[in-house]
Amino acid sequence: EPEVTQTPSHQVTQMGQEVILRCVPISNHLYFYWYRQILGQKVEFLVSFYNNEISEKSEIFDDQFSVERPDGSNFTLKIRSTKLEDSAMYFCASTRGSGTDTQYFGPGTRLTVL
Amino acid sequence: AQSVTQPDIHITVSEGASLELRCNYSYGATPYLFWYVQSPGQGLQLLLKYFSGDTLVQGIKGFEAEFKRSQSSFNLRKPSVHWSDAAEYFCAVARPITAGNKLTFGGGTRVLVKP
């Protein structure tokens, strides 16, 4: 069964550094998402991406965040200058696109900012 | 804005016993409703979803959920739990739009299964 993959599984970085989290969505999917879960808190929506542009973003997704689909298979989340409060599990998801289609989630990347 | 509440943070159940996880949502109309499960080290896996029609929906792994409009609830049930059901369970809602829905999640309920 096709699945969403994410790399790395765990990323440790120093505050102020840039990080790029990578995702490979399911190949025939059209909508891509990033969510995050701070330890002990809810899974929160960050951004959705369709047709090479952001379709929706939350208030969390400020200028420090960006997303890109650089090569037709990868979907990346970049945090320009990490803060301590960016420490969280980041999940990538994808769907074929219809509102009733299932969102398939990757296993997540645990980001630790020191 | 939509919101989801899962009142129980932890539930402990004996293997073979029944399980019910509660979920209440706040939304102006009937949203799309979902239950996801997360096992340790795994991503979120969809158990079942409700869009319209029959209010009792069947999912994978023997789970079912019932939508009750009058109570704004979408509770998840399983008649007889297995040790492998120990996991965290998330209820989620989405706007009933044609494409590109974001999910709004509840806080999750962690299920422990006693032998």
pLDDT per position as a tens digit, B46-56: 999 999 889 99
- Which residues, given as ranges, of chain B have pLDDT below 50? none
Q: Which residue of A has its CA nearest to B6?
A: A42
Q: Is the pLDDT of residue A32 over 80?
A: yes
Mean pLDDT of A98-107: 86
Mutant choice from A33, A43, A48, A101 vs B, greatest count of B C-beta within 10 A: A43
A100 touching B (Cβ < 8 Å): yes
Q: Which of A39-43, A98-102, B83-87 has the lowest mean pLDDT?
A: A98-102
Query: What is the model's pLDDT at position B75?
Result: 98
Query: What is the model's pLDDT at position B101?
Result: 84
Question: Distance between CA A106 and CA A92 in Å, rounded?
Answer: 5
- Do B32 and A100 lie within an 8 Å CB cutoff? yes
User: What is the pairing mode between strands B109-114 and B10-14?
Assistant: parallel
The model's confidence at residue A102, banded by pLDDT at 50, 70 and 90, is confident
Closest by Cβ to A108, choosing from B32, B43, B45:
B43
Closest by Cβ to B105, choosing from A43, A100, A106:
A43
Closest by Cβ to A91, choosing from B43, B94, B104:
B43
Q: How far is CA B92 from CA A15, A68, B31, B48, B82, in A?
A: 32, 26, 10, 11, 23
**pLDDT single digits (tens) B64-81:** 999 999 999 999 999 999
